[in-house]
Amino acid sequence: MVKVLKIGGSILTDKNRRLFARSEEINRVAEEVAPYAENLILVHGAGSFGHVQAEEYELREKFNPEGLRVTHSSVVELNRLVVEALARSGANPMPIHPFSCVTLRDGRIESFSLEPIVLMIEEGLLPVLHGDVAMDITRRAGIVSGDDLVPYLARSLDAEMVAEGTDKDGVLVEGKPLERISWDDWSGVEKFLGGSSTTDVTGGMREKVLKLLKLADAGINSLIFNASKHGYISRVLKGDVLGTKVER
């Protein structure tokens, strides 16, 4: 059974500093992930390697070939750093760039070539995906975030575990993490969920929770936890329930 783990760009980069990778954090994340890489798909955010560029070129609003190239090149560089760190830590990672295998329609994933990912997992490889730009059937081009990739992968491959590591202790209400959240809680919680405090073209915590609630509708629960705390990634991959559980 497949596990899907996302590590947010705020963990791997400083979103306030253009193209600034947190090398020590990338290495730490790799060391925590590598022992549990079997049957795992890793997705990571773009952080300062994607959001800033996408905003500068207004890629949400218009088609810009130069913006697509610059933004894609940036996120590929961050992906390279993550893949290399995982390899040094003993995993067998392989990069997968969504620009080459995902098509959007009105900003949503329309098609996704998953066969190579399935074969990689069968052969003991660790697929490593990332937030990226993508071609869009109706808008010509757009952005596919890690938060889009995670539920699509989880549904398509019937994931047994889904977790999203952020720089927060979970879904926070008045500064305290909820133990769990469902649609029944949404009306009372939504007002506490804003976007990102830094440049983020993908909607921040509010959109993340919405997408995971829709995943829960498909019968797949997930976790939002604090991946900046040392050891938490390993604990989640071992099966510990940390942070906020998103469920029906």
Q: Domain with 201 in it: what CATH number?
A: 3.40.1160.10
Average pLDDT over residues 156-162: 98
By CB atoms closer than 10 A (0-12, 13-18, 19+), residue 33 is buried
User: How far apart are alpha carbons 7 and 149 in whole angstroms?
Assistant: 12
- Residue 195: which pLDDT band, with cuts at 50, 70 and 90? low
Give, to the nearest 10 degrees, the angle between helix 204-217 and helix 146-156.
10
Is residue 56 within 8 Å of residue 18, measured between CB atoms? no
Average pLDDT over residues 3-23: 92
Give, to the nearest 10 degrees, the angle between helix 23-33 and helix 65-88.
60
Per-residue model confidence (pLDDT) at position 200:
57
The residue among 115, 132, 136 whose CA lies nearest residue 71 is 132
Entry pTM: 0.94
Average pLDDT of the chain? Answer: 94
Average pLDDT over residues 197-225: 86
Expressed as residue numbers, the domain containing 191 is 3-246
Q: How many domains, the chain?
A: 1
